[in-house]
A and B are shown apart, each in its own frame.
Chain A
Amino acid sequence: MNMIEAINDALDLMMARDPDIVIMGEDVGYFGGVFRATAGLQKKFGRNRVFDAPINECGIIGAAVGMAAYGLRPVPEIQFADYIYPGLDQLVSEAARMRYRSAGEFTSPITIRSPFGGGIFGGQTHSQSPEAMFTHVAGLKTIIPATPYDAKGLLIAAIEDNDPVMFFEPKRIYNGPFGGDYDKPSRTWKGHPGGEVPEGYYKIPLGKARIVREGEALTVLAYGTMVHVAEAVLADKGIDAEIIDLRSLVPLDMETVEKSVQKTGKCLVIHEATRTSGFGAELVTLVQERCFYHLEAPVERVTGFDTPYPHSLEWAYFPGPVRIGEAVDRLMKD
């Protein structure tokens, strides 16, 4: 299965299990979504469970918060993470705080699905990685899968979670893993272990990282598309790195991170998002705070630049093999 099919499968399965799950968003109904993630669901479950919404992110998320207060489990879609900002007030001021401010009288068990990340010539408003805007908000969980297998298991867990979950889908790897070399022909998920998606219900707990590859020389922390780029680059360089796919930024699996960095003594953080105040800054800080006496080199981060995401200059912006390779070389120097 590719990641779209895995997401579609998770939605299908959960809707069949729980009549309180409803899906709404722009073009998600009859058409099945601009990325086909909701294809066939309206036909199967009916118009009142999977329906098109007006082009209004604040309205979509606001209506979802109201539905959740009633007792439903809405799974709204925001077409691109780049367009989530009109809904920020609803996420930050309402969904994230509902349980806290009402002392549990009202809750927001919502899962907001949104395609994110670059590498597709999406330019400024089809490429952003705004995860740090949400990890900074108390009361929100932020999940980013890197394989179809994880996408299904994590989405099921997110939908079942009783708190609001931001579920960002790296659209660059919807159809296949991407090693960061844009000149290579694109691959599909066929043959990749992460593309083997079991039928039926299973879930991956939120807050548990996945060790993609065990190693001794260096710890690499990544999520989304960058997991595959890291894997390719480090294999290419023949370095015995331990690559960790965080999967869940909040809650974060700090135990796995700490154990790994304490073993390897070196840490590289990679994300597509811009650098300043990005989630990498939090990771670097946590590693510094908790693994300082084990560190043998400064913690490095390779990220998007502090510029808007450019169009034709995409591959200069994207934290690709060259920049990751240089950071690895610096870390491995001693």
Chain B
Amino acid sequence: MTNRQRLTLHIPEPEARPGDQVNFSGMHIPSAGETRRPPIDGAEAQMRDLPFGLVRVLDDSGNAVGAWNPRLAPETLRRGLRAMLMTRAFDERLFRAHRQGKTSFYMKSTGEEAISVAQSMVLEDGDMCFPTYRVLGWLMARDYPLIDLVNQIFSNAADPLKGRQLPILYSARDYGFYSLSGNVGSRFGHAVGWAMASAYKEDDKIALAYIGEGTTAEGDFHEALTFASVYRAPAVLCVTNNQWAISTFSGIAGANETTFAAKALAYGIPGLRVDGNDFLAVWAATQWAAERARSNLGATLIELFTYRASGHSTSDDPTKYRPADEQDHWPLGDPVERLKAHLICLGEWTDALHASLIEELDGAVRAAVKAGEAIGTLGKSKPSTAEMFEGVFKEPDWRVIEQRRELGI
């Protein structure tokens, strides 16, 4: 051995664990309006600072400022707020339904509602979203029937997916919502293929895909970006960086070394880093990327910087690996509260209206759950067992038919 220092293996650790004082003061948060907005047809080479900025529109007082301000009509803002609140109300009640034994599993998207709702509203009918399991807001913004969600979660006789899928792995083609799968990341490349098909058909539709920051470590992330870049696919590729992949903090996915938006640099596509708790910023950045895609200028990678306020799923207890009060200290706040403050600032909303809207939405969710319960909760009602054998192929082959007969059907 020379006197050279011995090697050490670096294992990233989060700033705070259970019992520790939460301290986000080291996090650099650019102020609202600070990050510039280039023209949509700008050259990628002229945008390489953007992945290290943070597109923000709403300032701390609830004002919309800067070049990214999408200048939305109050009516649009209220629609967005409504869909976000609906998402939250639904999450709360169905999480409880799990605790009451009415279903086997649930996942909330608390704290991330601005992302799916704003993006759902920006994209058009005919565009396709390739979701993760945490973008319920997409469906809420498009008024997907609550009862269909409830029936899917209860896996009952009226489940649109015939009891074949784990709760919340929805499929809603008519709402631009692609079939979910439990395999993380495996649909990120489908969005690119779908977008390539749209381009091949000389259509005007675009694809939007989500992947969590933890899943960016999967090969699917690299594959999708490579194909998107090579074929200039009209796709908006989004990383929802909510800081946590189950118990694993984002540093284990590489966040301590660079931003997820900066991964775009290596593929030669624009990368935007966006305040994911800022409805207006998400809207503006998505609109920018969607216009770019529609103008045949190719794909954009958007990192949506947010915080997973809830546990990973009903099977998870986040107090085992992070401080219980971490979300209260999250510097980008709560997306619902921030949009509400903005509307109040505009004189277009009040606390009273807000409270009565929450009450109305909770009533709607309660009614849907009740209607679902009337059909049956998990195990109390099921689709016909014959459904198990349908849809393996378009037409079942003899094995499937014989196996069905084994069950006497």
Contacts from A to B (Cβ < 8 Å): 22, 48-49, 53-54, 56, 58-59, 62-72, 74, 86, 89-90, 93-94, 97-107, 138-139, 141, 162-163, 207, 250-252, 254
Contact = CB atoms under 8 A, between A and B. Distances in A.
Q: Tell me which of A65, A105, A107, A207 has the highest count of chain B C-beta atoms within 10 A of its own C-beta.
A: A105
B200 A99 contact: no
B183 interface: yes
Contact of B197 (A67, A100, A101): A67
Which bracket fits the contact residues of B?
35 or more
16 contacts: A58-B220, A59-B223, A62-B220, A63-B189, A64-B193, A66-B197, A69-B178, A70-B194, A71-B197, A71-B201, A93-B186, A94-B181, A94-B187, A101-B164, A102-B171, A105-B173
Q: Tell me which of A66, A105, A162 has the highest count of chain B C-beta atoms within 10 A of its own C-beta.
A: A66
B393 A103 contact: no
Contacts of A89: 183, 186, 220
B396 to A, nearest CB: 9
A243 to B, nearest CB: 22
Nearest to A107: B394
B382 to A, nearest CB: 15
B371 interface: no
Nearest to B189: A62
A86 B219 contact: yes
A138 to B, nearest CB: 6
Contacts of B194: 66-67, 69-70
Nearest to B190: A66
B200 A22 contact: yes
Nearest to B182: A93
A59 B190 contact: no
Contacts of A49: 200
A107 B201 CA distance: 18
A254 B402 CA distance: 12
Contacts, number: 139
A65 B193 contact: yes
Contacts of B220: 58, 62, 89
Given A102-B179, A139-B392, A141-B393, A66 B189 contact: yes
Contact of B223 (A58, A93, A105): A58
Contact of A72 (B197, B393, B399): B197
Interface string B181-225: 101001111111111111011000001000000000001100110
A63 B179 contact: no
A100 B388 CA distance: 9
Interface string B130-168: 100000000000000000000000000000111011000
Nearest to A99: B391
B190 A94 contact: yes
A97 B188 CA distance: 16
A138 B396 CA distance: 11
A59 B226 contact: yes
B257 interface: no
Q: Tell me which of A49, A69, A104, A138 has the highest count of chain B C-beta atoms within 10 A of its own C-beta.
A: A69
B169 interface: yes
Contact of B193 (A66, A93, A98, A252): A66
B197 A62 contact: no
Contacts of A250: 397
Contact of A62 (B186, B198, B397): B186
Contacts of B230: 54
A290 to B, nearest CB: 11
A179 B173 CA distance: 51
Contacts of B394: 99, 107, 162-163
Contacts of A56: 223, 226-227
A292 to B, nearest CB: 17
Nearest to A105: B173
B173 A102 contact: yes
Given A63-B193, A65-B193, A162-B394, A105 B179 contact: yes
A103 B190 contact: no
B199 to A, nearest CB: 8
Interface in B369-409: 391-394, 397-399
A163 B161 contact: no
B82 to A, nearest CB: 27
Given A101-B181, A103-B391, A90 B186 contact: yes
Given A103-B162, A251-B397, 12 more contacts: A53-B227, A62-B190, A66-B130, A69-B194, A74-B193, A89-B220, A90-B189, A101-B161, A105-B173, A138-B392, A207-B397, A252-B399
Interface in B242-290: none
Nearest to A255: B398
A53 B189 CA distance: 13
A74 B227 CA distance: 15
A106 B178 contact: yes
Contacts of B196: 63, 66-67
A139 B393 contact: yes
A40 B16 CA distance: 61
B398 A103 contact: no
B193 A97 contact: no
Contacts of B181: 93-94, 97, 101
A105 B195 CA distance: 18
A30 to B, nearest CB: 15
Given A105-B179, A251-B398, A62 B193 contact: yes
Contacts of B399: 251-252
B169 A101 contact: yes
A44 B355 CA distance: 65
